Chain A
Amino acid sequence: GQSLEQPSEVTAVEGAIVQINCTYQTSGFYGLSWYQQHDGGAPTFLSYNALDGLEETGRFSSFLSRSDSYGYLLLQELQMKDSASYFCAVRDLGAGNTPLVFGKGTRLSVIA
């Protein structure tokens, strides 16, 4: 089986930095993905980490530690448009062989 844990809500100030953590348990590990979803919108792919370390894409970075079964998404220079839900996701090779299992999501609110 698999499980992903991430905080349900985070609030941060415009221009600041916020980190959204994700811990996972899964049968076999093939990397950690992050998705963003605005209210009423579709999830959009942000990043993928297969190996330990930090991956940077503009204002967003994603980190993975396989030994700790832990990753995080780092958002810098927060903008109001970053207010959205953020999901971590892993592939599960257990009984379900699920291509991607999503966490319950972290709702980020960016305030002025």
Chain B
Amino acid sequence: DSGVTQTPKHLITATGQRVTLRCSPRSGDLSVYWYQQSLDQGLQFLIQYYNGEERAKGNILERFSAQQFPDLHSELNLSSLELGDSALYFCASSVGGDGYSYEQYFGPGTRLTVT
């Protein structure tokens, strides 16, 4: 158990819909990272927040957005869902910012299926 929690574990929704994935980092960790993992694309970095502020952005679609709240939990919002958005979404956390990103602790993931 990494100490990172994610909800829900599974999500099935229809195209065009909007969903919110939630993540709570390990106690004391200030950075949260979001990743998308699909069979053909591997583990793709989406976005990082550090202590409530956006720190780095990857190949995150405009239909996707995220935020980190004062209690440090984070939410990833996916809208206008398409079949291709079906994937495993991981949240990870690390104790600090840039210098600590090499050691990240991953949550169990949310498996999103868009039908």
* B11 within 8 Å of A (CB atoms): no
Q: Verify B90–A45 contact, CB threshold 8 A.
A: no
B109 x A99 contact (CB < 8 A):
no
* A-binding residues in B (CB < 8 A): 2, 31, 33, 42-43, 45, 48, 55-58, 90, 92, 98, 101-109
A43-B90, A87-B43 known; A98-B102 Cβ under 8 A: no
CB of A100 within 8 A of CB of B101, answer yes
CA distance A66 to B78 in the complex (A): 39
Q: Report yes or no: B108 in contact with A99, Cβ–Cβ below 8 A.
A: no
Task: Name the CB-closest residue of A to B105.
Answer: A45
A105 and B106: CB pair below 8 A? no
A100 neighbours in B (Cβ, 8 Å): 33, 45, 101-102, 104
Known: A42-B2, A42-B90, A44-B2. A99 touches B45 (CB 8 A): yes
Main secondary structure of the interface of B (DSSP, over half): strand
Tell me, rounded to whole Å, the shortest Cβ–Cβ distance linking B51 to chain A: 14
CB neighbours (8 Å) of A33 from chain B are 102-103
| Contact of A105 with B56 at beta-carbon distance under 8 Å, contacts A31-B102, A48-B102, A99-B101 already known | no
Distance, CA A101 to CA B98, complexed state (A): 13
Encoded as 1 (CB less than 8 Å from any B CB) or 0, chain A from 81 to 100 comes to: 00000010101000011111
Chain B CB count within 10 A is highest, among A41, A42, A96, A99, for A99
Write the nearest CB–CB distance from A43 to chain B, whole angstroms. 5
In the assembly, what is the distance between CA of A85 and CA of B109, in Å? Answer: 16
Contact indicator per residue, chain A 61-92, by CB within 8 Å of chain B (1) or not (0):
00000000000000000000000000101010
Given A45-B105, A99-B104, 9 more A-B residue pairs with CB atoms under 8 Å apart are A31-B102, A33-B102, A42-B108, A45-B104, A48-B103, A91-B102, A98-B45, A99-B98, A101-B45
Given A44-B2, A99-B48, A104 contacting B42 (CB threshold 8 A): yes
Closest 5 CB pairs of A and B: A99-B101, A42-B106, A102-B43, A33-B102, A104-B42
